[in-house]
A = this chain, B = another copy of it.
């Protein structure tokens, strides 16, 4: 056991206890009722960074939730690593599907995590994952081994699309200046097969409202003679995909980079079994865009999903109402080269064109973000590759992901630096779902792997 492993072993329980404290605050950014909890969590993060010996710890006020900043500058001639994380979490509903309280973290064993996993909203996404960095830096500072400069940026609006971050990083561009950005907010293939996320999908997210009559009507007196906004909305949604599950929005695929045959062959090598996949989520058949594999459909192809729908009477029993309004939240995952603003505009134009004269339609865009690809020949990627290889005893596989972290392409634009996605979660960790969890193995393996990144990155930087 080396010094790093010994340090982790000694402080194991304290690390978990400290993370539990953070997980107990329901910092839900999507619901403004949780503003006080957001504020409290920002303070908890700042205090955790202060405790490990960081300097210039501060809460940067934004239009929305504060961004926590901290740094440790040991030598301005050395490179600077910026660690990005987010302290906000997804809403916990549906609450009745949680087997333990979402904001009362608890450790339970699972088949995939026989050594235990922390169950709580945010356990993996992203409190557990950014906290690995806090503890890895604690080790490097405490043992006087930090090989380069480090900066932290922990924001509180990632789950709602980081609406204030662009203005903030532009205003504080000098403060956040860096040579590489590290983010642990993605996953890896398995605990025995590490992988590094090398691609992220972009996102366009809209809310639509279809209005028929100006009030809820009795479906007996008006049914059949007045357009029902739920029926109409259903029809409009149905028309967004064709019989091959291609998205029908004119121009939607225009900017999509098609994979080369070589890329597709490379991707097909990743370990994947359709039967296991289907079984893991209890479906009898997969579905998706004709002509593409499940891995392609869920990472390098653009998609359109209704994330929520509601309208009319949704209580117990029967009510014969012809409702005034029906609503849906619709998101599109985008791939490299697709511009989210353009896609939102194409969606809006097309969706409005689907509306019959008998209803009115209102479309409100939520947040969006561009897709991103990490260059495999960058020193950041190479340093991460070496770090994983050392602690996992096997090299990590580069993998495009279907998820979105919209700020990654923004970072590239503003700082000109690459982002390395050192995720330690697993696909089965149920992030954004009830019973979100994060393996203790993954948490500690992350803390162990991160210091090696700093060592290799500084060396490669000096030699470059």
Q: Which residues of A contact B (CB under 8 A)?
A: 29-32, 90-91, 93-94, 97, 159-161, 187, 201, 203, 205, 207, 212-228, 230-231, 233-235, 237-241, 281-289, 294-295, 297-298, 301-303, 305-323, 326-329, 331, 333, 356-360, 366-367, 401-404, 427, 430-435
The reply to whether A316 and B30 contact each other, CB–CB distance below 8 Å, is yes
The reply to whether A321 and B281 contact each other, CB–CB distance below 8 Å, is no
Residues on the B chain within 8 Å of A333, using CB: 219-220, 223-224
* Copy count, this protein chain: 2
> Whole-angstrom distance from the CB of A268 to the nearest CB of chain B?
14
The reply to whether B357 and A93 contact each other, CB–CB distance below 8 Å, is no
In this complex, the member of A29, A94, A241 whose beta carbon has the largest number of chain B beta carbons within 10 angstroms is A94
The reply to whether B308 and A215 contact each other, CB–CB distance below 8 Å, is no
> Whole-angstrom distance from the CB of A418 to the nearest CB of chain B?
21
The reply to whether B314 and A308 contact each other, CB–CB distance below 8 Å, is yes
The reply to whether B221 and A427 contact each other, CB–CB distance below 8 Å, is yes
Residues on the B chain within 8 Å of A281, using CB: 213-215, 217, 222, 226
The reply to whether B30 and A319 contact each other, CB–CB distance below 8 Å, is yes
Contact of A297 among B161, B224, B327 (CB under 8 A): B224
Contact of A284 among B307, B318, B358 (CB under 8 A): B358
Q: Which 4 A-B pairs have the closest CB atoms?
A: A220-B403, A224-B303, A30-B317, A214-B282
In this complex, the member of A161, A327, A402 whose beta carbon has the largest number of chain B beta carbons within 10 angstroms is A402
Contact of A215 among B220, B285, B295, B433 (CB under 8 A): B433
Give bound CA distance, A11 to B311, whole Å.
44
The reply to whether A230 and B402 contact each other, CB–CB distance below 8 Å, is no
- Given A225-B297, A284-B358, are A307 and B91 neighbors across the interface (CB < 8 Å)? no
The reply to whether B309 and A312 contact each other, CB–CB distance below 8 Å, is yes
The reply to whether A231 and B161 contact each other, CB–CB distance below 8 Å, is no
> Whole-angstrom distance from the CB of A248 to the nearest CB of chain B?
12
- Given A205-B320, A285-B357, are A223 and B401 neighbors across the interface (CB < 8 Å)? no
- 23 contacting pairs across A/B (C-beta < 8 A): A93-B315, A203-B220, A218-B431, A219-B305, A224-B303, A224-B333, A225-B298, A226-B288, A228-B306, A231-B240, A234-B235, A235-B241, A238-B238, A238-B239, A284-B357, A284-B360, A286-B358, A307-B313, A307-B319, A310-B310, A314-B329, A319-B329, A321-B433
Residues on the B chain within 8 Å of A358, using CB: 283-287
Give bound CA distance, A222 to B278, whole Å.
11
Residues on the B chain within 8 Å of A240, using CB: 231
- Given A215-B433, A241-B231, A308-B230, are A223 and B30 neighbors across the interface (CB < 8 Å)? no
Knowing that A207-B318, A227-B285 touch, tell me 10 more A-B residue pairs with CB under 8 angstroms. Answer: A30-B318, A31-B316, A31-B317, A187-B221, A221-B401, A224-B288, A231-B240, A233-B309, A307-B320, A307-B322
